[in-house]
Amino acid sequence: MEIESLEREIHTRVAAAADLDALDRARIYFVGRKGRLTALLKGIGSAPAEDRPRIGAEVNRLKELFGVLYDARRTELTSGSPNPYYVPPVDGTLPASDGHTGHRHVLVRTMEEMCDILRGMGYRLASGPEVELDYYNFQALNFPEEHPSRDLQDTFYITDDILLRTHTSPVQVRFMEEHKPPLKVMCPGRVYRNEAIDQSHAAEFHQIEGLYVDTDVSMADLRNDVQLLIRQLFAPDTDIRFKPHFFPFTEPSVDVDMTCHVCRGSGCAVCGRTGWIEIMGAGMVHPNVFRAVGYDPDKVSGFAFGIGVDRVAMIRHNIGDIRQFLANDFRFLNQF
Amino acid sequence: MIISLNWLKQYVDIPVDTPTFVHDLTMLGLNVEHCVTTGPDDPRIVVGHVVERESHPNADRLSLCRVDVGDATPIDIVCGAPNVAEGQKVPVARVGAKLPGGLKIRKSKIRGVVSNGMICSQVELGLGNDSAGIMVLDAGLEPGRPFVEVVGQPDAVVEIEVTPNRPDQLSHLGVAREVAALYSTSLRIPAPTINSANVAEPICVTIDDPHDCYRFTGRVVRGIRVGPSPEWLRGALERVGLNSINNVVDIANYVMLELGQPLHAYDMALLPGTTMGVRRGRPGETIRGLDDNEYNVDERHLLITCEDRPVGVAGVIGGMDTRVTESTVDILIESAAFRPRCIRETRKQLRLNTDASYRFERGSDREMCARASARACELILQVAGGSAGEFVDRFPAPWEERRVAVRKSNVRRLLGLTLGTDEMAHLLDRLHFEVVSTQDDTVTVRVPSFRADILEGTDLGGGGTSAWIRPHWTGMVVSGDDLVSSRSIRKLRAIHLRSPGRAGPQ
């Protein structure tokens, strides 16, 4: 009773002591000659005998408690410790800190620009899945099963029939299955190849596929569109040349070279002293591909091309290592 | 595929210089990846005869040699090779000679002893990869003879990219065919003549399934002497990246690279009998391959057997137990043709990949089997002696006549090119597509056995003819560069993104 209220009082009076004088008065009040705790101890004789040890212990405890609180408060008052809740004045006229905003990845910008150019030539967007069926990625594109042509592209197989697409060409088949000619589409997207990764080869990279099917589309039309694309992407006086090549889904197939951007055709280390750089592949759609989608190869013809976005970006921005595109290093990404 | 130009010139004349030729090959579709000139051409590199060899007085690992190079007196040469010995004929680069790598030979003092030249290794002469020791030449060469005469004029070796649809280009003859058509020069196909001795034991051949094996030929050559190959053979193989094994194996490889037909030679003394077979494996069968690996084979794999026992994996690899060694006296040469997919499945399953399987899985020319066998025999008789024995030819699946019609209208439609039927016929003929008939719009041709890739008329637009014509592509001009609007929008968006809160374009 008295002990409890005394304990509360000790806490309150010590904490409330605003200066050393007040603290001293508290000391005299509790443990001085005529202090409350002192009086309790003196008067212990008048308490019943069995109570005396308990009372004695309690009072001593309070004396100790007082001592500890007194010392702490005294230290506080004399050391002048700062108030943890101190708030300095604020200058509200200063501008706010610049929040981080994102920007478009160099590959995305390159892809967008290439699509813009193609859109100007009449190509419309088509897209397809990255996880693809062997049928669309190979069979419908005239790669026979168990044939060495498949060795040209190392594939990530998920099951025997499901794989990660190795080129954007399957979208040609998907689109043609759903539409009738004439059609002119482009399909940008990511592709996957199970190749050893080095400076110029990544396991994931990006292509844009172009397809134009109509009656009487010829290689001259292909050359025209390819030339326009290359000239707008690189320099307006860039020349291109076609070299015979092989893709199972085009016949004839060509490799397209463009004049070396470094030496402008005179020959240098970059182009192996030939003056030409291989930039993309193209060809006339193979009749078997038309048959797979239900078109009559005698009634329609078409051309297709595929161009690597990473490669174009590397040439335009003088990037030496393809792995940087997906390395997530801001020191690289922030340069664009 | 690595092609040696000197080798190629045996079958076709090349009317242009090497840089032009390399360009022409590339524009033909045979993309040249590398071109390297090999071999020495300096007249001061000669054959030398090591008359005397003693240890160098001041160096343990060096030798002091007195070498006869056709002068009045032999010259002193210090040599560091471990294999130099008295009596050898060696290539000597004399003072003043320039080696293919650029090194110029000077008179020098090596550890106090004067050296008047250098005895060369293969690597130094640009003739091969062996740098372990000096090159030892045929004993019969005379000292002082210019080395160029021994080893032939410097060669240009090109690596060309052959696409999977053109297995006919996987040989020197195949490439020569294209070159001959390109320059309108004549093609010289090897035409071996063999005088067979009278038959001792008849060889039997059974082919289980002509769907798997189109043809199997076996030819006996008796009384040969297996040994190292002569310089022309060794050099030819090494220049195109193969190692020389012995004269018989080398001839088999040479003919494969020459005519495109993979061959295999068996030691007849090691064969269990004379009945050869081509059949699928049976569960539990095994065969030890030439690579010294044991292979478990079953019905998924095609085998060559003798007396029904496996002696080879068909079209992929021969058996260790029946191979040609130094002690072989009689051989059986196998020259066969198989179904491409069958070979591919077999070799993939066994995790193998050989020069032979590479050609078979892309499609070999079955009509070439007999000629290749005869050619190999002719060359083996030349380098290893012996006499030709029996020749057996089982040909259950000859090349079926295939005709395709090439339409003038398609050429116009697809290539944008106007050609008359006569012009087309002429071009196709140059490419060995025999013209059967010509109509208004169409030229009908027979597809030769080495162009299995041609299935229909439009196939000839590509690998066939477009390369030859080198058309002048006509183009139509497309106008309408209206990209401005979408580009501007993007630019605005980019600016906006970079400066939040700042006043952008209003």
Given a cut of 80, whether residue B38 has pLDDT beyond it is no
Q: Which residue is closest to A214 within chain B, CA to CA?
A: B413
How much is the pLDDT for B500?
A: 44
* Residues in chain A within 8 Å Cβ distance of B497: 101-103
**Whole-angstrom distance, CA of residue A66 vs CA of residue B259:** 111
Please give the average per-residue pLDDT across B442-449, as a whole number. 91
B23, B166, B349, B414: best mutation site toward chain A, by most A Cβ within 10 Å? B414
pLDDT class of B198 with cuts at 50, 70, 90: low
- Nearest CA-CA distance, residue B362 and chain A, Å: 7
**Nearest residue of B to residue A147 by CA position?**
B341
Rounded mean pLDDT of B132-157?
A: 86
Neighbours of B133 (CB within 10 A): 15
Q: Which of B339, B357, B473, B486 to substitute to test the interface with A, most A CBs within 10 Å?
A: B473
Identify the closest residue of chain A to B479 by CA–CA distance: A121
CA atoms within 13 A on the CB side of A80: 0
- Tell me how far apart the alpha carbons of residues B349 and B493 are, in angstroms, rounded to a whole number: 56
Instruction: Calculate mean pLDDT across residues B224-233.
Output: 93
Output Rg (C-alpha) for chain A, integer angstroms: 42
Chain B residues inside the 8 Å CB shell of A146: 341, 344-345
Most confident of A8-22, B143-157, B261-275: B261-275
Q: If pLDDT is split at 50, 70 and 90, which confidence band does B421 have?
A: confident
**Per-residue confidence at B492, pLDDT binned at 50, 70, 90?**
low
| The pLDDT of residue B473 | 32
Spell out the residues 6+ positions from residue A54 whose beta carbon is closer than 8 angstroms to its own.
none
Question: What is the rounded CA–CA span in Å between residue B322 and residue B307?
Answer: 13
Give the closest of A101, A243, A244 to B462, CB-based. Answer: A244
Chain B positions touching A248 (Cβ under 8 A) are 165
Question: What is the pLDDT confidence band of residue B316, given thresholds at 50, 70 and 90?
Answer: very high
CB-CB neighbors (< 8 A) of B26 in chain A = 243
pLDDT surpasses 90 at B228? yes
**What is residue A189's predicted lDDT score, i.e. its pLDDT?**
96
Cβ distance A252 to B475 less than 8 Å, yes or no, reads no
Query: Is B473:A223 a contact under the CB 8 Å cutoff?
Result: yes
In this complex, the residue of A98, A243, A287 whose CB is nearest that of residue B31 is A243
> What stretch of H or E contains A256?
strand A250-259
DSSP line for A60-92: HHHHHHHHHHHHHHHHHHHHTPPPTT------T
B345-361, pLDDT tens digit by residue? 999 999 999 999 999 99
- What local confidence, expressed as pLDDT, does residue A266 receive? 86
With residues binned 3-state (H G I as helix, E B as strand, rest as coil), the percentages for chain A, rounded to 5, are 45, 20, 35
What distance in Å separates residue A138's CA from the closest CA in chain B? 15
Closest chain A residue to B468, measured at CA: A244
Query: Do residue B500 and residue A121 have CB atoms under 8 angstroms apart?
Result: no
A220/B475 touch (CB, cutoff 8 Å), yes or no: yes
pLDDT at A18: 84
Give the pLDDT of residue A207. Answer: 96
Nearest residue, CB atoms, B29 vs list A101, A216, A244: A244
Chain A residue numbers with beta carbons less than 8 Å from the beta carbon of B166 are: 246
pLDDT at B395 over 50: yes
| Contact call for B341 and A246, based on CB within 8 A | no
d(CA B343, CA B472): 42
Examine the pLDDT at B183 and tell me if it is beyond 70.
yes
The pLDDT value recorded for residue B460 is 67
- Nearest CA-CA distance, residue B167 and chain A, Å: 11
Report the residue from B163, B475, B497 with minimal CB separation from A223: B475
Place of tokens 């080198």: B470
pLDDT of residue B469: 42
Average pLDDT in the A91-111 region?
85
Q: Chain B interface, mutation test: which of A110, A219, A295, most B Cβ atoms within 10 Å? A: A219
At A84 the pLDDT is: 66
Res B103: pLDDT = 84
Mean per-residue pLDDT for B272-299? 95
What b-and-e string marks burial along A22-60, b requiring 16 or more CB atoms within 10 Å of the CB? ebeebbebbbeeebbbeebeeeeeeeeeeeeeebeebbe
pLDDT in tens, A22-57: 889 989 998 888 888 888 888 888 888 888 888 888
The residue in chain A having the minimum alpha-carbon distance to the alpha carbon of residue B342 is A146
Please tell me the predicted confidence (pLDDT) of residue A299.
93
Among chain B residues, the shortest Cα distance to A302 is held by B414
* Crossing angle between the packed helical segments A52-79 and A20-31, to the nearest 10 degrees: 170
What's the pLDDT band for B503 if we cut at 50, 70, 90? very low
Per-residue pLDDT tens digits for A217-248: 999 999 999 999 999 999 999 999 999 899 99
pLDDT of residue B197: 61
Locate B245 and state its tokens. Answer: 């094994």
| Confidence grade of residue B478 (pLDDT, cut at 50, 70, 90) | very low
Q: pLDDT band for position B306 (50/70/90)?
A: very high
**Inter-residue contact A11 to A63 (CB < 8 Å):** no
User: Which among A251, A291, A303, A334 is the top mutation candidate for probing chain B, defined by the most B β-carbons within 10 Å of its own β-carbon?
Assistant: A251
Average pLDDT over residues B210-223: 95
For chains A and B, CB pairs below 8 A equal 115
Residue B485: pLDDT band with limits 50, 70, 90: very low
Q: Chain B residues contacting A, CB < 8 Å?
A: 26-29, 31, 163-166, 341, 344-345, 361-362, 412-417, 456, 458-459, 461-463, 466-467, 473-478, 480-483, 486-487, 490, 494, 497-498, 500
B-chain CB neighbours of A286 within 8 Å are 458
Q: How far is A90 from chain B (nearest CA, A)?
A: 22
In which order are the strands placed within the sheet that holds B31-38?
B2-4, B155-161, B31-38
Q: Quote the ipTM score.
A: 0.72
- Measure Cα distances from B367 to B364, B370, B375 in Å: 9, 7, 14
Question: Are A146 and B345 inside 8 Å of each other by CB?
Answer: yes
Of A158-167, B32-41, B175-184, least confident by mean pLDDT is B32-41
Comparing A299 with A87, the larger pLDDT belongs to: A299
Checking if the pLDDT of A20 tops 90, the result is: no
Over A179-211, what HEC string results? CCCCEEEEEEEEEECCCCCECCECCEEEEEEEE
The answer on pLDDT for B502 being more than 60 is: no
DSSP string of B302-326, one letter each residue: EEEEETTEEEEETTTEEBGGG---T
> Looking at the predicted structure, is the pLDDT value of residue A191 above 90?
yes
Taking an 8 Å cut-off on Cβ atoms, the answer to whether B478 and A224 are in contact is: yes
The whole-number pLDDT of residue B39 equals 74
Specify the higher pLDDT residue, A298 or A1. A298
Q: Does residue A152 surpass a pLDDT of 90?
A: no
Q: What is the mean pLDDT of chain A?
A: 90
In which band, very low, low, confident or very high, does the pLDDT at B494 lie, cut at 50, 70 and 90?
A: low
* % of residues, chain B, pLDDT over 90: 59
